[in-house]
């Protein structure tokens, strides 16, 4: 199973509805919320994500790069977001927050910055629906893929398989037609791509090409 989630961080913010309609073959639309606090960049908040939820035909994969997630993440679940991912670095009680998100009907994701170890969360994998291993420092699109995050991704993949739990493994940052194979090989099944999709002349064709690149690689040697 391979999921391709285009990030609208690379879309045209004044033509978002048009750009949302340009990716019909995607699985989810990835929505990056930044507060200029947790990361040094600012995008949009609850009101905007509510409107995206209203007009999008794809389910929302919300990535919160904000502080105060205990307060704010449940609000995104209440909007009807399919999945809400908060950063591990932004809360002292990730399991409690994940339970709250699930109780509100959303999937619960936990994200790890490149320098954040996975070990503290590996015993609680069943509490989450998704682990996002960041492959860039969060905050900006268009950055280069950090291959040094791959051992951590593999570690999470091994722990998920050993526990026999259904947790999606997402990568986000610098995913393109070549790095998607590297991340697939290390165990990712859910791929966020911003500039690789919206920088293409035909974004939907690029979604298909990314999916094929991941699947083709999987056939050739992927064993997870």
Ligand X SMILES: O=C(CO)[C@H](O)[C@H](O)COP(=O)(O)O
133 near ligand X, rule: CB under 6 A:
no
- Residue 204 marked ligand-binding: no
> Smallest distance from the beta carbon of 7 to Fe ion, in angstroms?
5
Binding site for Fe ion (CB under 5 A): 32, 63, 172
- Non-local CB neighbours of 155 within 8 Å, separated by 6+ positions: 118, 122
Site for ligand X in 138-197 (CB under 6 A): 138-143, 172-175, 192-196
Q: What share of the chain is helix, strand, coil (3-state, %, to 5)?
A: 45, 20, 35
DSSP line for 20-64: HTT-TT-S-EEEEEEBSSSSS-B---HHHHHHHHHH-SSPEEEEE
> Smallest distance from the beta carbon of 63 to Fe ion, in angstroms?
4
When the beta carbons of 30 and 184 are compared against ligand X, the nearer one is 30
- Non-local CB neighbours of 103 within 8 Å, separated by 6+ positions: none
Locate 181 and state its tokens. 């194979």
Question: What CA–CA distance (Å, rounded) separates 179 from 43?
Answer: 26
Residues marked as catalytic: 32, 172
Chain position whose Cβ is nearest to ligand X: 194
Chain position whose Cβ is nearest to Fe ion: 63
Q: Residue 196 binds which one of ligand X, Fe ion, none, with CB within 5 to 8 A depending on kind?
A: ligand X
Question: What CA–CA distance (Å, rounded) separates 25 from 40?
Answer: 32
Question: What CA–CA distance (Å, rounded) separates 151 from 116?
Answer: 12
When the beta carbons of 25 and 195 are compared against ligand X, the nearer one is 195
Among the residue ranges 6-14, 50-58, 73-81, 162-170, the one whose residues contact ligand X (CB under 6 A): 6-14
> Smallest distance from the beta carbon of 71 to ligand X, in angstroms?
21
Site for ligand X in 50-89 (CB under 6 A): 63, 65
19 near ligand X, rule: CB under 6 A:
no
Annotated binding-site members: 7, 30, 32, 63, 139-142, 172-174, 194-195
């Amino acid at each position: 199973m391979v999921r391709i989630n285009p990030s609208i961080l690379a879309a045209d913010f004044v033509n978002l509805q048009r750009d949302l309609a340009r990716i019909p073959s995607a699985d989810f639309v990835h929505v990056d919320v930044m507060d200029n606090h947790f990361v040094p960049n600012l995008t949009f908040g609850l009101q905007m994500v509510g409107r995206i939820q209203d007009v999008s035909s794809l389910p929302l994969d919300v990535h919160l790069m904000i502080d105060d997630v205990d307060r704010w993440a449940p609000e995104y679940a209440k909007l009807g977001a399919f999945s809400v991912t908060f950063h591990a670095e932004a809360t002292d009680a990730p399991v409690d927050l994940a339970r709250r998100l699930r109780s509100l009907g959303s999937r619960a994701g936990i994200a790890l910055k490149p320098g954040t170890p996975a070990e503290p969360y590996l015993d609680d994998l069943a509490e989450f629906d998704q682990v996002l291993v960041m492959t860039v420092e969060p905050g900006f699109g268009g950055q280069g893929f950090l291959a040094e995050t791959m051992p951590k991704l593999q570690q999470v993949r091994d722990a998920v398989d050993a526990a026999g739990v259904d947790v999606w493994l997402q990568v986000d940052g610098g995913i393109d037609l070549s790095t998607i194979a590297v991340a697939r090989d290390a165990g990712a099944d859910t791929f966020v791509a911003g500039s690789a999709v919206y920088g293409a002349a035909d974004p939907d064709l690029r979604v298909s090409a990314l999916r094929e690149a991941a699947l083709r690689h999987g056939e050739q040697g992927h064993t997870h």
